[in-house]
Structure 1
Amino acid sequence: MKPATTKSRFTLDDLCKTRSVYDPKVAPDGKNVVFGVFQRDGAANTNRDTITLFNLDSKSIKSIAEGGSHDWSPDGREVAFENTDGMLAVYDMEMENIRTLCKIEHSAHFINHWVDKGLSWSPDGRHIAFVSSESAPGETDSPKAFREVNRILYKTKGGSNRPYYNDNRLSHIYIVPRTGGTPECLTPSPFNEHSITWSPDGQKIAFISNRTSDPDNNQHHALWTVDIKTKSTRQLTQNNESVFTPQWSPDGRHIAFLATVGAKNNNDSMAENTQLYLLPAHGGQLLCLTGEMDRNILNFRWHPNSGSLYFTIEDEGTSKLYRVSISNKGKTPIIPATESKIDGFSTMAQGDDIIYVKSSQNNPTELYLYQATTGESEQLTRFNRFLAEKRLLQSSKTFWFNSFDGTKIQAWLTKPVHFKSNTTYPLILVIHGGPHNMFGYEFDEKLQVLAAAGFGVLQINPRGSDGYGQEFKNGNLNDWGGGDYEDLMAGLNLALKNNKWIDREKLGVTGQSYGGYLTNWIITKTKVFKAAVSDGGISNLISFSGTSVIHSLLESEFGEYAPLNYDALWKCSPLRNASAVQTPTLFLHGETDNEVPLSQSEEMYMALKKMGVATSLIMYCGEGHGWRPDLRPKNRQNVYERMIEWFHIHFQGKSPSTP
């Protein structure tokens, strides 16, 4: 007889117990790994990032400080990082103490989501380079009588601990001696610089900067170098590319970077896949190393021999690690990561063994060691062991289907906790954001929360999603709410046909950001859903184009500046068809969201309210867009509580206890 399980369902309190591992970096001697650990603190209603050490010999784990960006000194004796007070600090491995060097100032100016403002040791270990801005002007006690605006990007991203408006401070590259002293600015310019990497000889730093005449109005980020002694700068790539995260080769001959080469890009979710490029360190012809793979490249690292690079691709809900030769572009799969996702990695000293971060549907991110001689991986950390031992976590079953025009679409279906085959259950269609993101095999807390609350969950990667090639990713350009809507409904209909346990009278839909947009769109097109939750969604593409800090998104998606394209934008705006809505809809939105401004939910909410549709708008004070990690823990819990309650009320006419 099978023993009864002692596991219980995933609860909202577990959100503050779950930890996320990120950004591993192996020490030069290969004995330790430094990485970040993210955890929510429910009692303090804040979030914590902890700089953590893992010793590969003793398997011991040690937290050294709370803070952000981190990097090893070349001799492996110290770790530099930014502490929670915004100070550049150094941890001494032998003395086990911390000294602070100087203040790091962060501008509120939003450039794009790929900007790296991390720090880096000089190859000789004598200096630390970092990105900082000038000090913010002091605030007066007198309230502002007015605010003058004379630039396009006058807003910031907004949200927790971030200003609402651009402070107009520029980010530059500084260096400071490891022993302390006055930082020296290497790039005193009227532009922003970021994403730094030292040349192996320590004479130059490569960086990214948009030095066009109107940087607010384009995404032409070029690769530059600055001479440490003379401070002279040189541009290495053209302005028609958008370049990200450069890394100098260990032998100093090349600089590798991610880039897009399309004429239209934006500062948010790009349709064009990023590819891995190579450039001679003195400048010259770009060489694309990955284009024929037809996938989005995320992370990359040089092999210590400078003859190859490791990189990850997004592919059909997974992310996989490959190695590419720079001589012939030959590619070798290293870690296939079937039904899982690799989120970051670092090579050991010899370059063949790899420390990496992986997650799967039942396991949040943990640290792993891949050994080349055996081809096997060993899990190093178990921060989230309690989930495997104490919680009932649901896995999703993937399926493929042909959409209305024959396009192959991938989806995942998850059964609720305590599923019984002779019972029917509500189903929630969850839609991803982006629009060019993807669902897959990573740990998804929203999925687990909904499954624990007794809902089945359907996730679909409609056209426009990442992971299926450039043509597929382009599938919703100039056609928001067109083919992608049809894909979602085709997947839903197939799930209903093949799964009798789904209660057709209790269907819900929710999505965040672009998922919120499609939620708003869906309720104008069909009455099949009994309840909807729109989370930070767009409703009016015309007003969005003039109020969002990611204004360039619509220009890259629809091909023209909004005032020249109002007809196309209005055609794809859910607000245009709001009179057709009958679905009870809850709107959730960060009050200081500048990526998708609060007014987007306000417009749709007001339209439904005027027509007598059951609706409510919850504004989260001081919160920004996307419920990203900086969302306060209590607000994150409240988002899920309200979502679950809304679905239960409109499915059953009552509100059960929240998990």
Structure 2
Amino acid sequence: MKAADLELLTAVSAPTVHPGGGRAVVSVTHPSLAADATVGQLWTIPLVGHAAPRRLTRGFRDTAPRFSPDGRLLAFLRSAPAAAPQVFVADAAGGEPVQVTDRRLGVSEFVWAPDGRSIAFVSRVPEQGRYGTVEGIDAASERPRRFDILNYRANGLGYITDRRAHIFLVPVPDVWAEPAVMPIAEADGSSAPAPSVPEAAQLTDGPWDDGSIAFSPDGSTLAFVSARHASRDDDLRSSVFLVPVDGSRDPVDATGAHGDLSVAGVSYGLNGALYFLAQEVGESGRDFVARNAALSVIDVPGAAPRRLTDPETQDFTESDIVAYRDDSVLVRDRRRGALVLTEVTAAGESTRLTNDTTVVGGVAAAGEVVVLSIADASTAGDVAVLGPDGVRRLTDFSAPLRAAGVIAPREITVTARDGYPVHGWVVVPEGEGPHPVLLNIHGGPYAAYTGALFDEAQVYAAAGYAVVMSNPRGAAGYGQQHGRVIRQRMGTVDMADVLDFLDGVVEQTLGLDGERVGIMGGSYGGYLTAWTIAHDHRFAAAIVERGFLDPEAFVGTSDIGSFFGDEYTGTDPELVRSQSPQAVVEQVRTPTLVMHSADDLRCPLPQAERYYAALKRNGAEAELVVFPGEDHELSRSGRPRHRRDRFDIILDWWAERLPSAHNHS
């Protein structure tokens, strides 16, 4: 895979399954260099017979499909170029979609009411006079913002206190009715009102964000997640709330009195039990480091929650909850670089349904029919059905990408210097070598590399580099203790693990040149790259991208600055400095490319600017690259042309400092 092959990188959404079990629908999207945006449509996937998958819609970007409970309608989100997504509904058999919402800031999620007559959705409510609510007042002309809280911005969004997310209910229009026409003026100058979308009723309000919505099976109640407690600005707690759809009473907190929880998702089971995923965040409400999300259930309204899974052995942080059988749900366990589909019963019994190498990105069920969106070493995204013999793939959206060139990663476990097993992968380019090596470090730190097709590793391997990727201590998927060991000890065993893994891979793999090695990483990976090159000078060059580089300057500038550094590096000034790349930057002798995005609010641009300036002032060879209009997610979901530019810049850097047979000046 080359940088120009980005358009072949196809992503598949979570599926929706027709209640009859005969077909599924997914959103299939990909980066478009021509549009400089992610584009895609809905596809219908037959589950029986031999018919081929086919494109169902033709919008610019159609996503998040959901069949109505009776299967007659299909709702989804549609985005026009440079416009916010809105809810549309179409005849499930095919036909012109009908627009349901026209929210100025768009819709982020929606669910069908059980009777199929209405849809609940989440949308941000702009403060009057901001975000284009008044014609002629642009962002630069808005009145000043005043804050009395710490958490007032979010990466990828910007200011949030003047556009809170709330829940709405809208009736579903008749998609079979005669379409409304745009009236023209009468002779006297009067005219009938223009056609409009159905009017939505707002169900929640207040200075907080509401989301992750779910209808009770009888349709009378909406469950959602929110942080409405008095100390919400100082902790990470959130709760499941219940609100009657008829608006007869205010939302009620169903979980806040039952522990120090940060709730990630909520859903009802088929039998009416209320399931939710939550992390324990301790008495302080801020102890989030390497806390796995466990599944809990509220059996009947008003009952105390029961925790069904052990967060030390199972991690549902990247999962949603899908009702399956009367007494069970489907969730996805983050484990050793995979997302494993797991059935959990109301009695707390867990059954793993997929293997340890497949990344299950989404799941839907209709009766006994279970459909998955998956990724593995051969695909960036495809649709599969779960059968008695395992997973059977139904699509092959990544075939063009494989034709362009994909190399399967080799899974390796290396014993670190203290005897600890470090798990990861190496992608070895074609040819005998010896190949120069790139040590890649993932972000998080409580995240993980997987064995699935990864565009970055493929691009570097196609350029002639062996790519080494590990999940050191601090990473997710190996239990909470594995992740928590670096709490207030960043740059200790995690650095040792990535270096020992590098040495072990070079020793165990033929064709690698252990004397010609580069190092690179983003976010926490940028942190550990910067920290490592201050202590180990073996590397020909380094790339520090969107890094957490100066913990002291993180507070007050990052959208997570009020808690992230406190928990990961501590609050004692000497302890913080003992883990700070900025504090040891004068030790760096490695040529370093510092890459960042101008609108990054997670690791703000000054993190890079201060680090780069210190490198230059200390005489190190360094270059700074800043991407305009991008945030912390550039490498994953940024503008396609910027993503291509990023790859070109990276390969140019390595061509100069660590040339390969296929990438040199």
TM-score by length of 1: 0.89
Alpha-carbon distance change, 267 to 454 in structure 1, aligned in 2, over 3 angstroms: farther
CA deviation profile, 1:619-639 (whole Å, cap 9, x unmatched)? 000000032543011111111
CA distance in 2, matches of 1:317, 1:513: 19
CA distance in 1, matches of 2:68, 2:141: 46
Worse-matched range after superposition: 143-152 or 594-603:
143-152
Alpha-carbon distance change, 221 to 431 in structure 1, aligned in 2, over 3 angstroms: same
Instruction: Say yes or no: does 1:193 pair with 2:210.
Output: yes
Contact between 2:151 and 2:562, CA under 8 Å: does it hold in 1? no
Q: 1:119 aligns with which of 107, 110, 114?
A: 110
Secondary structure, aligned partner of 1:623: coil
Return the letter of the residue paired with 2:262. S
Match of 2:522 in 1: 512
Worse-matched range after superposition: 649-658 or 91-100:
649-658
CA deviation profile, 1:48-79 (whole Å, cap 9, x unmatched)? 24233223343332231333333221111111
Match of 1:157 in 2: 155
CA distance in 1, matches of 2:441, 2:569: 24
Match of 2:633 in 1: 626
Secondary structure, aligned partner of 1:296: coil
CA deviation profile, 1:488-522 (whole Å, cap 9, x unmatched)? 11112223333463223321000011001111111
CA distance in 1, matches of 2:312, 2:486: 21
Contact between 1:45 and 1:634, CA under 8 Å: does it hold in 2? yes
Match of 1:357 in 2: 373
Match of 1:377 in 2: 391
CA deviation profile, 1:213-247 (whole Å, cap 9, x unmatched)? 24333211100100112143211102621112100
CA distance in 1, matches of 2:651, 2:390: 41
The CA deviation at 1:559 is 7.8
Match of 2:453 in 1: 443
CA distance in 2, matches of 1:95, 1:55: 14
CA deviation profile, 1:345-380 (whole Å, cap 9, x unmatched)? 111x223x31101111232110001123xx243211
CA distance in 1, matches of 2:414, 2:661: 35
Instruction: Say yes or no: does 1:102 pair with 2:101.
Output: yes
CA distance in 1, matches of 2:285, 2:605: 21
TM alignment of 1:250-269, pairs within 5 A: 250-252=270-272, 254-263=273-282
The CA deviation at 1:472 is 0.7
Worse-matched range after superposition: 534-543 or 54-63:
54-63
The CA deviation at 1:657 is 6.4
Alpha-carbon distance change, 221 to 125 in structure 1, aligned in 2, over 3 angstroms: same
Return the letter of the residue paired with 1:153. N
CA deviation profile, 1:506-560 (whole Å, cap 9, x unmatched)? 2100001100111111111110001001111121111012210012452563485
Contact between 1:300 and 1:309, CA under 8 Å: does it hold in 2? no
Q: 1:482 aligns with which of 462, 486, 492?
A: 492
Alpha-carbon distance change, 481 to 293 in structure 1, aligned in 2, over 3 angstroms: closer
Alpha-carbon distance change, 268 to 586 in structure 1, aligned in 2, over 3 angstroms: farther
Contact between 1:464 and 1:473, CA under 8 Å: does it hold in 2? yes
Worse-matched range after superposition: 95-104 or 493-502:
493-502
Match of 1:387 in 2: 401
Secondary structure, aligned partner of 1:434: coil
Instruction: Say yes or no: does 1:232 pair with 2:250.
Output: yes
Contact between 1:248 and 1:255, CA under 8 Å: does it hold in 2? yes
Return the letter of the residue paired with 1:577. V
Match of 1:13 in 2: 4
Alpha-carbon distance change, 491 to 305 in structure 1, aligned in 2, over 3 angstroms: closer
CA distance in 1, matches of 2:283, 2:441: 26
CA distance in 1, matches of 2:284, 2:108: 21
Alpha-carbon distance change, 281 to 118 in structure 1, aligned in 2, over 3 angstroms: farther
CA distance in 2, matches of 1:265, 1:428: 40
CA distance in 2, matches of 1:154, 1:191: 11
The CA deviation at 1:648 is 1.9
Secondary structure, aligned partner of 2:456: helix
Match of 1:277 in 2: 296
Contact between 2:13 and 2:63, CA under 8 Å: does it hold in 1? no
The CA deviation at 1:611 is 1.7
Instruction: Say yes or no: does 1:367 pair with 2:383.
Output: yes
Alpha-carbon distance change, 95 to 643 in structure 1, aligned in 2, over 3 angstroms: closer
Return the letter of the residue paired with 1:322. T
Return the letter of the residue paired with 2:413. W
Match of 1:30 in 2: 21
Q: 1:59 aligns with which of 46, 52, 58?
A: 52
Structure 1: where are the runs of 5+ without partners? 1-9, 108-115
TM alignment of 1:170-569, pairs within 5 A: 170-179=164-173, 181-229=198-246, 230-238=248-256, 240-252=260-272, 254-263=273-282, 270-291=289-310, 294-297=313-316, 298-327=318-347, 329-336=348-355, 338-347=356-365, 349-351=366-368, 353-372=369-388, 375-388=389-402, 390-416=403-429, 418-420=430-432, 423-499=433-509, 501-554=511-564, 557-558=567-568, 564-569=571-576
CA distance in 2, matches of 1:499, 1:72: 49
Return the letter of the residue paired with 1:380. L
CA distance in 2, matches of 1:60, 1:502: 42
Contact between 2:43 and 2:53, CA under 8 Å: does it hold in 1? no
Contact between 2:371 and 2:385, CA under 8 Å: does it hold in 1? yes
Alpha-carbon distance change, 261 to 269 in structure 1, aligned in 2, over 3 angstroms: closer
Alpha-carbon distance change, 551 to 48 in structure 1, aligned in 2, over 3 angstroms: same
TM-score by length of 2: 0.89
CA deviation profile, 1:295-323 (whole Å, cap 9, x unmatched)? 31132544543211222212212221222
Alpha-carbon distance change, 644 to 478 in structure 1, aligned in 2, over 3 angstroms: same
Worse-matched range after superposition: 638-647 or 293-302:
293-302
Secondary structure, aligned partner of 1:649: helix
Alpha-carbon distance change, 292 to 235 in structure 1, aligned in 2, over 3 angstroms: closer
CA distance in 1, matches of 2:108, 2:232: 18
Return the letter of the residue paired with 2:256. Q
CA distance in 2, matches of 1:304, 1:505: 53
The CA deviation at 1:614 is 1.2
Instruction: Say yes or no: does 1:571 pair with 2:578.
Output: yes
Contact between 1:513 and 1:626, CA under 8 Å: does it hold in 2? no
Alpha-carbon distance change, 37 to 187 in structure 1, aligned in 2, over 3 angstroms: same
Secondary structure, aligned partner of 1:70: strand
Return the letter of the residue paired with 2:291. E
Identity, % of aligned positions: 26
CA distance in 1, matches of 2:659, 2:213: 55
Secondary structure, aligned partner of 2:154: coil
Contact between 2:463 and 2:660, CA under 8 Å: does it hold in 1? no
Contact between 1:463 and 1:473, CA under 8 Å: does it hold in 2? yes
Match of 1:647 in 2: 654
Alpha-carbon distance change, 268 to 359 in structure 1, aligned in 2, over 3 angstroms: farther
CA distance in 1, matches of 2:641, 2:287: 27
Alpha-carbon distance change, 652 to 95 in structure 1, aligned in 2, over 3 angstroms: closer
Q: 2:31 aligns with which of 24, 33, 40?
A: 40
Match of 2:91 in 1: 92
Match of 1:616 in 2: 623
Alpha-carbon distance change, 314 to 265 in structure 1, aligned in 2, over 3 angstroms: farther
CA distance in 2, matches of 1:586, 1:355: 43
Match of 1:4 in 2: none
Alpha-carbon distance change, 492 to 331 in structure 1, aligned in 2, over 3 angstroms: same
Contact between 1:269 and 1:435, CA under 8 Å: does it hold in 2? no
The CA deviation at 1:26 is 0.6
Worse-matched range after superposition: 291-300 or 234-243:
291-300
